[in-house]
Amino acid sequence: MTQTNSNIHEIFTSIAHQYDKLNTLLTLNIDQLWRKKAIKLCHLKAEDKVLDLCCGTGKIIELECIAVGKSTKVVGLDFNKEMLKVGKKRLIQCIGDYKFNLIQGDAMTLPFKDNIFDCVTIAFGLRNIPDKSKAISEMYRVLKPGGRVICLELSKPELPVFKTVYSLYFNYALPVIGYLGTHDKKAYYYLRDSVNCFMTKTQLRNEFGKAGFKHSGFLRLSLGIASIHFGIKK
């Protein structure tokens, strides 16, 4: 694990048990609406094989299990053991009668064969991966031809007045609120900085195109503070 990976791992370990609570507070629970929109764009059918990367506490997996039915196992992968521990406990409580398998692993080197998943999702995780192009290529590799990738990620609004107001909240208020909730200042300064340094919506769409995805594009959410990126494997 590189030094950068090690630092990110420590951050998520420190906030794992407060992660969902803080996300709800910081987004006024809008993040749950974003996830539901992302799942709709997956066009999941019963028995589809689904992989959720950077699955964290399993909120996307919960929705995917309901979409594919109780006879099909949804697979989640995350590099952080503590987040997976929290996710497993939460999923057992929420959807204990559905099938899921949580794996600790690296999104840049997926432990799966080629062409086996109908859909790959990733929510609020791509910007935490050191080599994003490699991760996107891995998503392409494990998808079946015609399979769909869905990436939900924070982004920057573009409307001038709203952009200014949101920037003040995101850059100054959010780290303070995050610190009060977790007593971990670096975690929410990292969140701020990772979003500010992340690709633009257009750049990310182009990365999906370079990996081979066709019909790649994005859908702005909540005036652009989040986006859903998508593509289909040729």
Q: For residues 191 and 170, give the distance between their C-alpha atoms in angstroms, rounded to a whole number.
A: 9
Q: Count of domains in the chain?
A: 1
180 has pLDDT over 80: no
| Dihedral pair phi/psi, residue 6, rounded to 5° | -65, -40
Q: For residues 50 and 65, give the distance between their C-alpha atoms in angstroms, rounded to a whole number.
A: 9
Query: Would you state the pLDDT for residue 4?
Result: 61
Q: Is residue 190 part of a domain?
A: no
Q: Who contacts 98 (Cβ-Cβ below 8 Å, separation ≥6)?
A: 65, 66, 70, 74
Q: What percent of the chain has pLDDT over 90?
A: 73
CATH number assigned to the domain comprising residue 123: 3.40.50.150
Alpha helices in the chain (DSSP H): 3-15, 19-27, 30-42, 59-68, 81-95, 132-142, 160-168, 174-182, 185-196, 201-211
Q: Is residue 207 part of a domain?
A: yes
Q: Is residue 16 part of a domain?
A: yes
The residues with which 113 forms a beta bridge, in sequence order, are none
Q: Is residue 62 part of a domain?
A: yes
Q: Is residue 79 part of a domain?
A: yes
pTM for this prediction: 0.93
Can you give the residue range of the structural domain that contains 227?
3-156+199-232
The residues with which 78 forms a beta bridge, in sequence order, are 104
Query: Would you state the pLDDT for residue 73?
Result: 97
Q: Using 50, 70 and 90 to split pLDDT, how confident is the model at 64?
A: very high
